[in-house]
Amino acid sequence: MRKRLVISVSSLIFAAVAAVFSFSVFFFTSSTLNQGRAEAHHMATIYAHAFEDGQPIDATVFPDMFGLAILKEDGSLVNEWGSNLPLDYTVLPEVETAMSEGEGEAVKYYDGSFKLASCCLQTPDPSGNTYYVYCHVGVELYGPAFVNFCVSSALVSVAIIVLGIILAYVMSGLSFKPIAASKVRFRELVENRPLTPFPKPHDKPSEEYYREVDEASKALLAARKSLNDEKEGIRNILDSVSDLIILMGEGEDIAFLNKAAAKAFRLDVSKFHSLPSLGFPSEVEQTIRKHRKVEQTYDLNNKTYALRGYMTSGGYVIALADISFEVNGEKLRSSFFSAASHELKTPLTSIMGQAEILSLTPHPDALDPSIDSIEKASARMYRLIEDMLSLSRIEFGHREVKGPVSLAKAAEEAKGALNFLMEEKGVTVMINGDFVYPINYDDAYSLIKNLLENGIRYGHKRGHVWLNFLPNGFEVKDDGAGIGEPDKQRVFERFYRVEQSRDKASGGTGLGLAIVKHTMLSYGGKVTLDSTLGEGSVFTCVFPSVKKGK
């Protein structure tokens, strides 16, 4: 860079000297021409005075390239002496100017480096008649004087250029010395090497510059140490947790992974690794590359993890929490749930049969309330077991989907099954439109039946329930009492009842909305609730779009 600066400064000096030299040449030639015009005017004045006094003109004393002529008032020639004289004087601009103004001058090209400077003066003769004295002299522009001028100017220019280059080199050395020292200092900071002291400054600005850079370097080292200590503390904390923590750097590079992650993915923390080293499925890798959010379960080393990926101010973070215990516990719970339901169904069927036999055989009237209570309790228990089995089947996913089905058809069938309840409550159910979707028919029937039954049981007597099919699902709306904010978040939980006594009186099992929720989740859809106390409730089921070709 120093060499480039010297070349640049030298070029500027050379350009400045060249410009000065060009102007000097211009002024030299202009000065030479002005001298020629002055000489021509001087000679014309001398001969005009001599002509006016009637003195004779000596033709032997004329120098080379000198011309003299005496013209009458009309411009005709009286006499002429010398060389390079024109054929017609009346066409000369200096003569025309002299005839109108009394005096005229001109400079004209002659040959090569020579020019003719001419002057024409109006003058009287001894008798008082008007005449014109024309005189021209030769002016050599690029003669020995010009050569001497160019040589001397060139020597001065060369001296100035050499001196400028030397000064530029010396000054650039002084200017670049702090830069060179700073370059060494910055390299030491980058490579974390011991700092070399700055050289002794020769001027106040350099001393101030070195002092400020020294202070900044020390502050940077202190900040780096603090950052490293903090980073090491964070690393120790992250290494102490059991969750797998991975931080992505630029592109696909892994900037950090804790000990748990290194052990789980069998990676050496001292070596460089990239995203493919983790072995995620291609769809997960693509999502991470695009820095999009990831939330799903992931199986690794016979364990189940909750995989979460999300963007932060420090980069893209991948966190895997071991949920094997929860998953296995849920599986055991579901298995127990299903097995217990099956085991309870057999003795319950026997109880219901015995109660029916008792009601049909002769018995004391005092037993009627007891038999009726057994029949109602066993019927409710049977519905509860059926709902528990339905929920188990949904969770285990043992359902076959043969193709798109009409949900309106399933709705009509569900409505028919609820006729007795509708008549008991005096509720009117209205079905509007249709929606065709690839779903197991029994699941479609269960979805709609549970939501319609929920609206009928908990709506007002002689109220209304509307089933409206939408482009991507359906909604069930009632004009009942509505559900308050605290209960909205829990109505889809198993056995949760908004009003315990009312639910028992209505005959509900507390599993209907849980069945709806898990059925929708099994198809990748969702169910939402919009309700206001005193204004009824709207349950909306939305299915994912069907991919083409499926």
| 550: pLDDT strictly greater than 50 | no
* pLDDT greater at residue 278 or residue 395: 278
Alpha helices (runs of H) in 192-319, residue ranges in sequence order: 204-240, 259-265, 282-289
Quick one: which of 175, 174, 172, 181 has its CA closest to 199?
Answer: 181
| pLDDT tens string 445-469 | 888 988 998 889 888 888 999 999 9
Quick one: which of 51, 37, 41, 38 has its CA closest to 80?
Answer: 51
When mean pLDDT is compared across 368-372, 485-489, 496-500, the lowest value belongs to 496-500
When mean pLDDT is compared across 66-75, 148-157, 327-336, 347-356, the lowest value belongs to 327-336
180 pLDDT band (50/70/90 cuts)? confident
Residue 130: phi and psi, rounded to 5, are -85, 130
Widest pairwise Cα distance in the chain:
184
| 395: pLDDT strictly greater than 50 | yes
Task: State the CB neighbour count (10 A cutoff) for residue 446.
Answer: 22
| 535: pLDDT strictly greater than 80 | yes
500 pLDDT band (50/70/90 cuts)? very low
CA distance 480 to 461: 9
Three-class DSSP category at 403: coil
429 pLDDT band (50/70/90 cuts)? very high
Domain with CATH 3.30.565.10 in the chain: 401-550
| 182: pLDDT strictly greater than 60 | yes
The pLDDT assigned to 403 comes to 81
Quick one: which of 188, 172, 178 has its CA closest to 210?
Answer: 178
| 116: pLDDT strictly greater than 70 | yes
Report the topology of domain 2-147. Beta-Lactamase (3.30.450)
Angstrom CA distances, 369 to 9, 207, 373, 376, stand at 117, 108, 6, 11
Strands 303-312 vs 130-140: parallel, antiparallel or unpaired:
unpaired
Q: What angle do CA 343, 345, 348 make, to 5 degrees?
A: 115
Q: Give yes or no for a contact between 506 and 458, defined as CB atoms under 8 angstroms apart.
A: yes
Q: Give yes or no for a contact between 442 and 450, defined as CB atoms under 8 angstroms apart.
A: no
2 pLDDT band (50/70/90 cuts)? low
The one-letter amino acid at 522: S
Most confident of 110-124, 197-211, 264-278: 264-278
When the candidates are 3.40.50.2300, 1.10.3720.10, 3.30.565.10, 3.30.365.10, the CATH number that belongs to 401-550 is 3.30.565.10
| 433: pLDDT strictly greater than 90 | yes
CA distance 58 to 91: 27
* pLDDT greater at residue 181 or residue 318: 318
For residue 37, the Cα-to-chain-centroid distance in whole angstroms is 74
Long-range contacts of 220-228 (CB under 8 A, 24+ apart): 220/189, 221/189, 221/195
CATH 1.10.287 fits 323-398, yes or no: yes
Q: Give yes or no for a contact between 337 and 326, defined as CB atoms under 8 angstroms apart.
A: no
CA distance 504 to 386: 17
CA distance 469 to 472: 8
Three-class DSSP category at 309: strand
Report the topology of domain 241-318. Beta-Lactamase (3.30.450)
| 367: pLDDT strictly greater than 80 | no
* pLDDT greater at residue 350 or residue 221: 221
| 474: pLDDT strictly greater than 90 | yes
Domain with CATH 3.30.450.20 in the chain: 2-147, 241-318
8-state DSSP, 459: S
In the predicted model, what is the mean pLDDT of residues 51-61?
A: 76
| CA-based torsion, 435, 436, 442, 443: positive or negative | negative
| 141: pLDDT strictly greater than 90 | no
Q: Within 13 Å of residue 150, how many CA atoms lie on the same side as its CB?
A: 11
| pLDDT tens string 68-96 | 888 888 888 888 888 888 888 888 898 88
When mean pLDDT is compared across 79-93, 163-177, 247-261, 416-430, the lowest value belongs to 163-177
Side by side, the strands of the sheet bearing 114-124 are 77-82, 66-71, 130-140, 114-124, 103-111
With a pLDDT cut of 90, the percent of the chain lying above it is: 10
| Chain mean pLDDT for the chain | 79
In the predicted model, what is the mean pLDDT of residues 498-515?
A: 59
| 397: pLDDT strictly greater than 60 | no
When mean pLDDT is compared across 66-80, 319-333, 349-363, 384-398, the lowest value belongs to 384-398
The one-letter amino acid at 318: I
Quick one: which of 362, 260, 248 has its CA closest to 315?
Answer: 248
Structure tokens at 473: 């699902």
When mean pLDDT is compared across 19-23, 314-318, 391-395, 505-509, the lowest value belongs to 505-509
Structure tokens at 257: 């992974």
Domain with CATH 1.10.287 in the chain: 323-398
Angstrom CA distances, 217 to 132, 190, 198, 228, 318, stand at 89, 11, 12, 16, 35
The pLDDT assigned to 496 comes to 64
* pLDDT greater at residue 250 or residue 391: 250
The pLDDT assigned to 6 comes to 63
When mean pLDDT is compared across 4-8, 502-506, 512-516, the lowest value belongs to 502-506
| 494: pLDDT strictly greater than 70 | no
